[in-house]
Amino acid sequence: MTAILGEKNSQTQVFNAKGDRVPVTKINTHPCFLVDIKWPETTGTCAIQLGFGQTKNIAKSKVGQYNKAGIKTPLRHLKEIRFDPENKKIQKIEDGKKVGIQIGEVKFFIGDEFKPSLLFKAGDIVKVSAKSKGKGFQGVVRRHKFAGGPRTHGQSDRERAPGSISSGTTPGRVPKGRRMAGRMGGGRATIRNLKVVEVADDSMTISGLVPGATGAIVEIRSNSL
């Protein structure tokens, strides 16, 4: 179980040992701190709360959270990532008044910075989630990859039409879930089975393209989460 927040930086390409060109996405992960840990006996859920992105103006409620965690850096985003309480690789630890979590052999206490070099290594398989780019109102050809109507026999106005959306008498209505034109993008999207190419203390390089625009907040998690 490993997870971290980051900011999509740029998309580029690298060449692997075989000389093959591999598209990659570079993600900045600094600063990312462990703000809180939730357990079933107190909140009913198992989750870690991560804070990311330095800012100037934050709400007073967040200031109280950061002061309680001992974080002096004002963070812009807060995100909870849940995990299975029966996962034996995740354990609750205490060191005096400090409360933390042990992920494998790595220990983190509330207020510590999450560094990808401690959680990931080159070759790990991860999944990345982010808010996808909004593309506005789109038709069925672009939104659902419809082929469109025939381009022969005088049907010049049916090339990008959806076709029949239901029968007339029975059921006499459009069924729920029918793929039609509508607003495209702007929702949460997840890309799985991406490989970690390079890891540093404040950034990561992941193979493939991840959702979101440049500067978007992304969640990088292991496939087990």
| Residue 165 covered by a domain | no
* Dist CA 79 CA 221 (whole Å): 13
Task: Judge if 125 and 225 occupy the same domain.
Answer: yes
**Encoded tokens for 96:** 């005096």
On whether residue 164 sits in a domain, the answer given is no
d(CA 200, CA 7): 14
One-letter identity of residue 117: S
Same domain for 76 and 2, yes or no, is: no
| Band (58; pLDDT cuts 50, 70, 90) | confident
What's the rounded Cα separation, in Å, for the pair 8 and 27? 5
Mean pLDDT of all residues in 89-111: 86
pLDDT digits (tens, 9 = 90+) for 4-48: 999 999 999 999 889 999 999 999 999 999 999 988 888 888 899
Residues 126 and 22 placed together within one structural domain of the fold: yes
This prediction's pTM: 0.84
- For the cut 70, the answer to whether the pLDDT of residue 169 exceeds it is yes
The verdict on 146 and 184 lying in the same domain is yes
User: Mean pLDDT over residues 54-58, rounded?
Assistant: 88
What is the arithmetic mean of pLDDT over 69-82? 90
Q: What pLDDT score was predicted for residue 117?
A: 92
With respect to residue 162, please indicate whether it lies within any of the assigned structural domains.
Answer: no
Whether residue 225 is predicted with pLDDT greater than 80 in this model: the reply is: no
| 3-state DSSP helix/strand/coil % of the chain, to nearest 5 | 10, 45, 45
Any domain includes 166: no
Looking at the fold, whether 134 and 207 belong to one and the same domain comes out as yes
- For residue 171, being part of any structural domain is answered with no
Domain that holds residue 34: 30-114
Domain co-membership, 197 together with 99: no
Contact between 106 and 119 (Cβ < 8 Å): yes
pLDDT band of 205, cuts 50, 70, 90: very high
- Do both 122 and 189 map to the same domain? yes
Q: Please check the confidence at residue 190 and state whether its pLDDT lies above 70.
A: yes
- Which CATH number do you get for residue 145? 2.40.30.10
Count the domains in the chain: 2
* 35 lies in the same domain as 16: no
b/e per residue, 200-223, with b = 16+ CB within 10 A?
A: eeebbbbbeebbbeeebbbbbbee
Which residue, 62, 93, 114, sits at the end of a domain? 114
Q: Read off the tokens for 203.
A: 């950034």
* Residue 69: φ, ψ to 5°: -80, -10
Is residue 162 reached through a cis peptide bond, with omega within 30 degrees of 0 on the bond before it? no
Which two structure tokens, joined as six digits, stand for 60?
Answer: 């007073």
Please tell me which of 74-78, 137-141, 145-149 the model is most confident about, judged by mean pLDDT: 137-141
% of the chain residues with pLDDT over 70: 99
CB count within 10 Å of CB 165 equals 12
How far CA 155 is from CA of 141, 146, 158, in Å, comes to: 17, 17, 6
**Which of the listed residues 92, 114, 136 is the one where a domain comes to its end?**
114
Tell me, yes or no, whether 130 and 185 share the same domain.
yes
In-domain check, residue 38: yes
Which CA distances in Å does 194 have to 20, 120, 127, 223? 17, 13, 6, 9
| Omega before residue 31 within 30° of 0, cis | yes
Placement of tokens 């022969």 in the chain:
152
22 and 35: one domain?
no
On whether both 66 and 104 belong to a single domain, the answer is: yes
pLDDT(103) > 90: no
Q: Is residue 160 part of a domain?
A: no
pLDDT at residue 208 tops 90:
yes
- Which tens digits make up the pLDDT trace of 117-134? 999 999 999 999 999 999
CATH of the domain at 97: 3.30.160.810
Which residue, of 114, 139, 172, is where some domain finishes? 114
- What mean pLDDT, rounded, does the chain reach? 90
Residues 63 and 128 in one domain: no
Q: Is residue 131 part of a domain?
A: yes
